[in-house]
Structure 1
Amino acid sequence: MRSTPPNKAAQAKESRSDANSPKGGVGVQFITVPEELAGQRVDNFLQARLKGVPRSRIYRILRKGEVRVNKGRVKAEYRLKAGDLVRVPPIRVSEGVPPAVAGDQLRRTLEAAILYDKGGLLVVNKPAGLAVHGGSGVRLGLIEALRQMYPESPFMELVHRLDRDTSGAILVARKRSVLLHVQSELRAGKMDKSYLALGVGKWPRSQKLVEAPLRKNTLKSGERMVVVDGEGKASTTRFQVEERLDGATLLRAEPVTGRTHQIRVHAQFVGCPLAGDAKYTPDEANAHFRQLGLKRLFLHSARVGCTLPDGTRVSVEAPLPAELAGLLGKLR
């Protein structure tokens, strides 16, 4: 259990920087969490303040207990409360590696991709190839770019996530109240999420629901894979055939649960893996679609829907990217 925040005298004493802080970094910092940042994960809070520090390093100082909230250890997923006192240890910022900055081209792309911006909710048509957040090997993701584009918004958090190779609609909260409300809908299964996917081969006519438990598996190479396993987590996806094409099936997929790679692995499990999927589809199948011009995973978040805290119903559709629409035209 975390201890209570220190009194003002103690805070004043502790707020002095460490004179022995590493060159290129800063001393110990004590930051009081303002009301508008309440509800933010502590790892994201630190990432926004330790510019140029790799996310892996932030996770490490959290695991080692170098970061304290009200003098107690916390995990990366801890959500901050207004008035929490966060101790940030002295940390070296990598010399010669400036903080990642969203370039003009990315900013223009994302500005054109904003599908909805009202009531503290953003809906963005995320391009394929852009990670939703920075991490191992990724210096800049969607959420970091949006925080730079909206400096007037002290709160900016992902409501849910999309795989890096998946395009389409993703929800981003600009208010804590919106984040908590929409995520409660997500947990209760009330949020609408619909994807368009291209399966290789013929989808079985009778297969409208896939219920297969999924387990994460990390290979010796470090690559993360997901497999159907009786000891995995219960996972359910609804599938509907939209169109039967030459050697492929256009599918609408609605995940009931939200497991990693769920749609991709459930499609593979049925025997109809997704076109362009380097992890779960045979190379020879992908080679055929590459010849037709497909250079990415054919999985697109086509529609998202939720309710805002004031009762407003939001439903937004993201148009299919030109490269995916073009492939469908060749298959028809």
Structure 2
Amino acid sequence: METNNESSWDFILLGFSDRPRLEMVLFVVNMVFYFLAVTGNSTIIFLSLVDLRLHTPMYFFLSNLSLLDLCYTTSSIPQLQVNLWGPRKTISFVGCVIQLFAFLSVGGIECILLSVMAYDRFVAVCKPLHYLTIMHPQLCLKLAAFAWLSGIANSILMSPLTMSLGRCGHRRINHFVCEMPAIIRISCVDTSRVEGLAFFLAIPIVLVPLTMILVSYGYIAAAVLRIKSAAGRRKAFNTCSSHMVVVSLFYSTIIYMYMQPGNVASQDQGKFLTLFYCLVTPTLNPFIYSLRNKDMKAALLKVLGKDRSLLDTEGIDRAWNSPQLFICFRTM
């Protein structure tokens, strides 16, 4: 029965309601991870904006990735925390649409953006002498714009189709977020066309970028193996392995959730995988990609006033021509 606070347009997000004790644990864990994710990714964006030394292609793409991670967590975790805290598990129709649109668009953008970042590293390691010529600011802006527009276009197409599926009054979504596979499951009509289209679009959105990432890192690995210094090879492999860990975590969950029919995946596994890539991965990304390297630490010290000599006022053009572009891999 509907309560006075619910309408026929509201959806009920069952989430983890079948595990009351787990809900309290998740509330605390989510709060900690959400704070770290917002703090870490916001720090990367802020430092990349205020420190001209970080106005390079690598940090430009990292800032985009951090913004996407913020969108991931903010579109789902606050609503999840509200549902975990109390007995009311509802979300409005508009809120559900917003969540679905955000997940589809941000997921598509991040898939393509990760391939762009892999290409940037490929150029830096394998073609260091031509790096500044190839990865010029205009190209970086175009690549980032292509990633954003592609992901948004995918969401514009799939979100209305998913929400238009007949539900025959079913409003109980066995998930904590309005995600496409979960919404498809409550449909009472044939969903094969929508699932087929989703699988077809996943080829250029998911599989093609993943192939580009694997090819790029294959060339990078070959270049690293030609480095004579053992210390240089170890440093290069550590950096590449960190990137590949993030790529593996992200793509494994995306492929599991979106590259198979909606009724095949285990619903419980789907919940935890979704929670992983919309909270845990965005929390880890800042530490794996940026916050542990020297450039980002130096920028943070500058902002904190620990080292005023790091202030750079000679313009963006000089920053784009910074030699710290990973070409050291070739010379180690």
TM-score between the two structures when normalised by the length of structure 1: 0.25
Higher RCO, Cα 8 Å, sep 6+: 2
TM-score between the two structures when normalised by the length of structure 2: 0.25
- Indicate the structure with greater strand content: 1
- Indicate the structure with greater helix content: 2
